[in-house]
C-alpha cells in the first residue's frame, strides 16, 4: 500500500469539515489543525490538536490544506514561518464531488501552488469540467469564457441572460450588489449593465461581529473569524470596466441605504452570507425592484453559510413570493418580479 499523505488543515471552520469529508482515507489523513489565533493553540478540533503556524516546525506533515474562503493572509502567514508554496494547497471545491466549483479569485492561485495535483491525489472526486451549455441550438454565442475553468459558469451565464431580458424588455432602474468583497461578481454586473448606475454596498471591513455571532449561535455557520476584511472600495473600483457608473455605499447595511428610498432597481445581487443583512436586503430591494427585474440571492444552497436559505424562505413565505433555485456552485435563489 502506498504511503498515506499527512495533511495539516489550516482552518477549523465549516470548510474544514468539508475537506475532512472529501478526503479518501486510503490516500490521506488529516493529522492536525492550524489556526492563526494563538489563543487556540493546544485546543482540539475534530479530535485533533490545533497549533499556531509558528509551531509547524515541530510537526511532521506532507501538505497543508488551506480550508478558507479568503486565503491571502493564511498564505502570507505560512510563508512567514518558512513554508514553501509546494507545501500549500487551497481547497475551495465546496461540496461538489464531480463539478469543479472554483469561484473565487483565490482559485486562480491554485495552479501556482502544487495544490491541484496534490488535492486530486488525496480526494475522492475528480475535478472534471462538466459539459457546459454553449446554447448553439439558440444560435447564440456566449460572452462567458468557457475555457476559463475557474468561472462559475452557471452564475455568470445566468447574469448574462437576465441582463439580456432586462435590456430587451427595457426595464428601468439601476443595479446593485449587497456584499461586494473584492468585486468578483460586481465586475460582471458592471460589464453586463455598462450604462446603468451600480450601487456597491459593503462594510469593506468584513462582517459585523454581532450579525456573525448571531448566525453562529443559531447554527447557521461555523466560526466566521476575520473573513472578507482584506479589501477596499479603491481596490474594487480599480477592477471595474465602467468605474464612473459605480456608487460606493461603505458601511453596515441597511443604514447605508438611507437616502435611497426612492431608487428603482432592475437587477440586484445579494451576497452578504449572513441571515440578517440578507433579509434586510430583500426587505429593502424587493419593493424597489421594477416589474421585469431580478434579484439573485447567493448561497441559497450553501451548507457553510445557511443564513441565505433561511432569509429567502422567510421572506418568500411572508410575502407569498416564488423564487427559482439556480444550480450554480453555492446555489442562488432568483426572485423575478
Ligand X SMILES: C[S@@+](CC[C@H](N)C(=O)[O-])C[C@H]1O[C@@H](n2cnc3c(N)ncnc32)[C@H](O)[C@@H]1O
**Residue 179 is a binding residue for ligand X (CB under 6 A):** yes
CA 139, distance to chain mean position in Å, is: 32
Kindly state the smallest distance separating residue 1's Cβ from ligand X, in Å. 41
Min CB(27)–ligand X separation in Å: 31
Q: Does 328 bind ligand X (CB under 6 A)?
A: no
Q: Are 10 and 106 in contact (CB under 8 A)?
A: no
Binding flag, residue 263, ligand X (CB under 6 A) = no
Of 4, 222, 252, 334, the residue at the interface with ligand X (CB under 6 A) is 252
Q: How far is CA 206 from the centre of its chain?
A: 13
Category of 70 on φ-ψ map: left (φ > 0), alpha (ψ -120 to 50) or beta? beta
Selected range binding ligand X among 52-60, 72-80, 119-127, 270-278, rule: CB under 6 A: 270-278
| Angstrom distance (rounded) from CA 71 to CA 49 | 21
The residue to which cell 462559475 is assigned: 152
Note whether 157 binds ligand X by CB under 6 A.
no
Q: How far is Cα 122 from Cα 68, in angstroms, rounded to an integer?
A: 18
State which of residues 184, 191, 263, 314 lies at the interface with ligand X (CB under 6 A).
Answer: 184
For residue 205, CA distances in Å to 104, 177, 180, 209, 227 come to: 18, 16, 11, 11, 9
Q: Which is nearer to ligand X, 50 or 280 (CB)?
A: 280
Cβ proximity to ligand X: between 32 and 179 the closer is: 179
Strands 289-298 and 332-336: antiparallel
- Element holding 219 (H helix, E strand): none
Least Å distance, CB 28 to ligand X, is: 28
Is 273 a binder of ligand X (CB under 6 A)?
Answer: yes
CB 25 to ligand X: min, Å: 31
Question: Of the listed pieces 78-86, 108-116, 191-199, 202-210, which binds ligand X according to CB under 6 A?
Answer: 202-210
Burial class of residue 8 (count of CB atoms within 10 Å of its CB; 0-12, 13-18, 19+)? buried
Q: What mask of x and - would describe binding to ligand X in positions 277 to 316, judged by CB under 6 A?
A: x---------------------------------------
Query: Which residues contribute to the site for ligand X (CB under 6 A)?
Result: 177, 179-182, 184-185, 201-203, 206-208, 211, 228, 252-253, 271-274, 277
Amino acid at each position: 500500500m502506498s504511503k498515506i499523505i499527512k495533511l495539516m488543515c489550516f482552518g477549523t471552520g465549516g470548510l474544514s469539515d468539508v475537506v475532512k469529508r472529501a478526503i479518501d482515507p486510503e490516500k490521506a489523513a488529516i493529522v492536525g489543525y492550524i489556526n492563526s489565533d494563538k489563543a487556540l493553540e493546544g485546543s482540539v478540533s475534530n479530535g485533533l490538536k490545533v497549533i499556531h503556524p509558528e509551531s509547524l516546525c515541530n510537526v511532521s506533515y506532507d501538505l497543508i490544506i488551506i480550508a478558507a474562503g479568503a486565503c491571502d493572509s493564511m498564505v502570507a502567514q505560512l510563508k512567514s514561518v518558512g513554508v514553501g508554496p509546494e507545501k500549500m494547497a487551497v481547497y475551495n471545491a465546496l461540496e461538489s464531488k464531480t463539478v469543479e466549483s472554483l469561484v473565487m479569485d483565490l482559485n486562480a492561485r491554485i495552479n501556482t501552488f502544487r495544490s491541484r495535483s496534490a488535492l486530486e491525489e488525496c480526494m475522492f472526486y475528480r475535478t472534471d469540467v462538466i459539459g457546459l451549455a454553449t446554447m448553439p441550438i439558440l444560435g447564440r454565442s456566449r460572452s462567458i469564457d468557457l475555457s476559463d475553468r475557474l468561472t462559475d459558469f452557471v452564475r455568470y451565464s445566468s447574469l448574462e441572460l437576465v441582463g439580456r431580458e432586462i435590456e430587451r424588455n427595457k426595464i428601468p432602474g439601476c443595479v446593485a450588489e449587497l456584499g461586494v468583497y473584492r468585486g468578483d461578481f460586481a465586475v460582471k454586473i458592471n460589464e453586463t449593465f455598462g450604462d446603468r448606475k451600480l450601487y456597491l454596498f459593503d462594510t469593506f471591513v468584513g462582517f459585523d461581529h454581532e450579525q456573525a455571532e448571531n448566525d453562529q449561535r443559531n447554527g447557521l455557520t461555523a466560526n466566521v473569524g476575520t473573513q472578507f476584511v482584506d479589501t477596499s472600495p479603491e481596490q474594487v473600483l480599480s477592477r471595474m470596466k465602467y468605474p464612473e457608473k459605480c456608487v460606493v455605499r461603505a458601511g453596515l447595511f441597511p443604514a447605508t441605504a438611507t437616502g435611497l428610498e426612492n431608487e428603482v432597481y432592475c437587477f440586484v445581487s445579494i451576497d452578504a452570507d449572513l441571515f440578517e443583512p440578507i433579509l434586510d436586503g430583500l426587505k429593502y430591494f424587493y419593493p424597489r425592484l421594477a416589474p421585469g427585474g431580478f434579484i439573485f440571492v447567493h448561497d441559497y444552497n450553501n451548507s457553510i453559510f445557511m443564513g441565505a436559505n433561511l432569509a429567502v424562505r422567510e421572506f418568500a413565505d411572508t410575502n407569498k413570493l416564488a423564487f427559482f433555485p439556480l444550480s450554480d456552485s453555492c446555489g442562488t435563489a432568483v426572485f423575478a418580479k
